[in-house]
Amino acid sequence: MMDTVTDASSKPTSSSARSRMTGKQRREQLIEVGRKLFADKGFEGTSVEEIAAKASVSKPVVYEHFGGKEGLYAVVVDREIAALLGGITGTLSAELGSRETLERAAMALLDYIETNTDGFRILVRDSPPGQSTGSFASLISDVASQVEHILAAEFKRRKLDPKSAPLYAQMLVGMVALTGQWWLDSPKMKKSDVAAHLVNLAWNGLAGLEKKPGLISER
């Protein structure tokens, strides 16, 4: 009987296991919990109480690490943007032809959507009030800024106005991002087929650009 009591007392309880978690481990746990809740319910639909309950901690622990829900959300969004931009800019740094660069960038975004579904759902939601980063619009701007120089070089080669490259970069990235959002909700097509159709429209559209475009109704 004594042996049984000794063995039972030597086993760590769930409470003692939690208490041994380091500050860094606790922070990572809260980030993962918050990431899942923000993806499922959005920023407004998620409460500090729910985050704390899912992590089996008290509300003050969440405030201690992040200052509140807003701070946790900002960390989650920053990590997702860094992961997405890292994947896309990695494809843009290679010495490739313009079409292959576009193909790889489209595939990088679709790869991210496929492997980081929760993260992408968070990024395409609206940011909380007062937050200037993390919205879908700001994400598109961040990615577009990475491809402007590629388009500008292509425009110069074709004797088109390179000053319009930022505008076309926004349009191209927006098209890919919105299509990726549609594909996430309706994953009926293969990823490579989605990328191929995206590039088909984007590349053939770029190939036929007019030097001075105008509206037919205004001619």
**What's residue 91's pLDDT?**
75
**What's residue 153's pLDDT?**
77
Q: What is the share, in percent, of the chain residues with pLDDT greater than 70?
A: 82
**What's residue 48's pLDDT?**
97
**What's residue 39's pLDDT?**
93
**What's residue 178's pLDDT?**
85
> pLDDT digit string (tens) for 47-92?
999 999 999 999 999 999 999 999 999 999 889 888 888 887 777 6
Residue 41 has pLDDT above 50, yes or no: yes
Cα–Cα distance for residue pair 57/46, rounded to 1 Å: 16
Domains with residue ranges and CATH for the chain:
78-208 (1.10.357.10)
Kindly indicate the confidence band of residue 4, based on its pLDDT and cuts at 50, 70 and 90. Answer: very low
- CA nearest neighbour of 116 among 148, 154, 77: 77
Mean pLDDT is highest, among 2-6, 86-90, 190-194, for 190-194
Mean pLDDT of 135-160: 76
Least confident interval from 32-46, 138-152, 154-168, 194-208: 138-152
Tokens 């919105």 sit on residue: 178
